Each structure stands twice: as structure tokens, then as C-alpha cells.
Amino acid sequence: MGLVRPRVFHDIQAWLYSIRLLHYPRHVAESVEVLITASIVPRYAHPGDAGADLHSAEELVLAPGERALVGTGVSIALPDGYAAFVVPRSGLAAKHGITIVNSPGTVDAGYRGEIKVSLLNTDQTESFAIAVGDRIAQIIVTPVSRAAFIPVDRLPDSQRGEGGFGSTGVRETGTGRQTAGSPMSGDTP
């Protein structure tokens, strides 16, 4: 069982990390080699970033509410047991309402075609112009398990049971306030 330390201990520890008297534990994840053909090779902007930026290979304008499948000029060969996920950039989403229709887009290990991004302009009034080379999305490469699905008549019990789709509400419980969730099958009353 882990040692339970008071909150003040962790606050002091965080301060020692910030003034570099203690070294924050570093976990250097193993990197994986991914063969690529690309007009612009995706790049991680900072150490520790999960996603590498994908660039547009096309020039286009997305009108308000419009979507388009945009080429990136990138094709990859992932090792078996890996997948890549194409996900939105938070800055484009927050500033311009640009998102990805099928986020996360799944790139299979066996796919050798060009990676494309299904961009959507959710802004109701502003068009969004994209130039060749603009960073339009990011790609996350990660190991994936392949499931062996085993049909059974009954699933084992669990604490969550069938509760889902907002069954725990929105507000923190234990504050004496009513949570905002609506009862769903599997909820406790």
C-alpha cells in the first residue's frame, strides 16, 4: 500500500521541482520508427508533446459550417500493433472553431495511402482560409491491443454497471448539491 502524505508535502515537493532543487521524474518513452513519405515531415513542437503537427498539402477556404477532406502529403507505414490518431489542434478549435468531423481519425497499420483530415469549420459567420504548409491537425502514434472477443451469456458485475451517458451528473457529489445528471438505466436512485 502506498504511503499517504499530507497535501503540504506535495506542495513543497512541487515548489522544489519548480526551483530545480529536486529533479522531476523523467520517463523517456521508447520511440518507434515509422517509415514515411511526406512533403513536410510531421514534427513534435516540444519535448513531451503527444502529437506531431500535420500540414496541409492544399490551399482552400472553409466557409462557415463547411467541411472538406484535406490532404497532408503524408503516407506512413506503421509497425503492426500500432495505430495513429488524427486529432484537432486546440488553438484552431478555440480561435476559429476548426475541428475534425471524425476525430480521432484512425490510421491503420496497413494503410499506405495519403493521410487526410476531415476538417469542419464550426464557426457560424467566419470563413477559414488554409494555405499549403499550414498546420491543420496533429497525429498521435500509439500501440494498440487487438482484442480477442469472447462471446458469453452474462458479463461479470462491475461497480459502474450499466450507468453511463451522464449517469454521474455534472456537479461534484458530496457537496450537498443536487447533481445535474438525468437518471439512466443502471443509476442508483
Ligand X SMILES: O=c1ccn([C@H]2C[C@H](O)[C@@H](COP(=O)(O)OP(=O)(O)OP(=O)(O)O)O2)c(=O)[nH]1
Give 2's Cβ-side CA count (13 Å radius). 3
Q: Is 111 in the site for ligand X (CB under 6 A)?
A: yes
Distance CA 91, CA 94 (A): 5
Q: By CB under 6 A, what part of segment 84-103 binds ligand X?
A: 86, 102
Looking up cell 491537425, which residue turns up?
137
Q: Is 75 in the site for ligand X (CB under 6 A)?
A: no
Cell digits of residue 162? 450499466
What is the closest distance, in whole angstroms, from the C-beta atom of residue 107 to ligand X in the complex? 4
Residue ranges of the binding site for substrate: 89-91, 102, 106-108
Residue 100: which residues within 8 A CB-CB, separation 6 or more?
A: 86, 87, 88, 117, 118, 119, 120, 137
Looking up cell 496541409, which residue turns up?
56
Q: Is 105 in the site for ligand X (CB under 6 A)?
A: yes
DSSP single-letter state for residue 182:
P
Nearest CB to ligand X, comparing residues 86 and 167: 86
Q: Is 118 in the site for ligand X (CB under 6 A)?
A: yes
Nearest CB to ligand X, comparing residues 120 and 128: 120
Q: Is 82 in the site for ligand X (CB under 6 A)?
A: no
Q: Is 116 in the site for ligand X (CB under 6 A)?
A: yes
Q: Is 74 in the site for ligand X (CB under 6 A)?
A: no
Nearest CB to ligand X, comparing residues 45 and 77: 77
Residue nearest to ligand X (CB): 105
Bridge partners (DSSP) of residue 43 are 53
DSSP string, 121-150: E--SS--EEE-TT-EEEEEEEEE-------
Residues that bind ligand X (CB under 6 A): 86, 102, 105-108, 111, 115-118
